Structure 1
Amino acid sequence: MDIKPIRTEQDYNMAMERLEAIFDAKLETPEGDELEVLGILIEKYEQEHFPIAMPDPVEAIKFRMEQMGYSQNDLADIIGLKSRASEILNRRRKLSLKMIRNIHDKLNIPTEVLVQAY
């Protein structure tokens, strides 16, 4: 096992190739240990070099509603009024703290996503 920090794109590509080669390694074996450490290094490199921005709060709500088969009426049941649901989805009203809490509880959208400015 010759593991070193991933500093360049070439290091990253080599690490990904090795990860693919040992992907099915069994736990608590030398290759299994290498797989675990390599995965941590790759994850760190990707977080630094390929950050993923959080989704827009309204788009996150729409996406989750679609996943769950919810309508605007279902959102209205969560946040209070049908008119409020329409205003939120059309970006005419900001989410209140109470709405954020309810949406988080009912739709399981992280609060970090919902509290962003939009």
Structure 2
Amino acid sequence: MENIITHEEYVKAQIRLEEIIKLDLVSNDTPEDDPLLQELDDVSDIIEAYEEEHYPIGLPSLIEVIELRMFEMKLKQKDLATLLGTSATRISEYLSGKREITLNIAKALRSKLNIDSDIILQ
């Protein structure tokens, strides 16, 4: 298949992908040189390229990443405040977007929560 240009071609590629999968035309045991396996790879690549162009998924915001880390670490705002060396009120202001994160808090987020500096700087 060639690059998908229209939405209709994208839908056709999705339908073909579903046919290959639902009909069990390929499996983990399918030889790598099998034409259907190659078609599956090609159709998947085309769909992925179309979706990346037309339905991009942006990076999460810093607040979303902080909230995720809090969930993962089972931290409440008060716990996070203690960990970062600030008040629970200040954490609430950061998470609600009422206050910008300071350089010291940004450094603490990097070191204590292991949040990537690229996300902090966005």
**Normalising by structure 1, what TM-score?**
0.71
Q: 1:99 aligns with which of 88, 100, 108?
A: 108
1:43-102 CA-to-partner distances (Å, cap 9, x unmatched) read: 111111112233322133224423553211332354332355334223313253413423
Q: Does 1:15 align with 2:22?
A: no
Off by >4 Å, runs of 4+ in structure 1: none
Q: Which residue does the alignment assign to 1:46?
A: 51
Secondary structure of the structure 1 residue equivalent to 2:5: coil
Listed as ranges, the matches of 1:15-94 within 5 Å are: 15-23=13-21, 24=24, 25-26=26-27, 27=30, 28=32, 29-83=34-88, 84-91=90-97, 92-94=99-101
Q: 1:113 aligns with which of 116, 119, 122?
A: 119
Secondary structure of the structure 1 residue equivalent to 2:75: coil
Indicate the larger mover: 29-38 or 77-86.
Answer: 77-86
Letter in 2 for 1:70: L
Secondary structure of the structure 1 residue equivalent to 2:37: helix
Q: Which ranges of structure 2 fall in alignment gaps of 5 or more residues?
A: none
Measured after TM superposition, the shift of residue 11 of structure 1 is 0.7
Report the aligned-residue RMSD: 2.6
Contact residue 58 and residue 89 of structure 1 kept, 8 A: yes
Letter in 2 for 1:22: I
**Alpha-carbon distance change, 112 to 39 in structure 1, aligned in 2, over 3 angstroms:** farther
Could you tell me the percent identity over the aligned residues?
37
Number of residue pairs matched by the alignment: 111
Q: Which ranges of structure 1 fall in alignment gaps of 5 or more residues?
A: none
Question: Which of structures 1 and 2 has the bigger CA Rg?
Answer: 2
Indicate the larger mover: 63-72 or 25-34.
Answer: 63-72
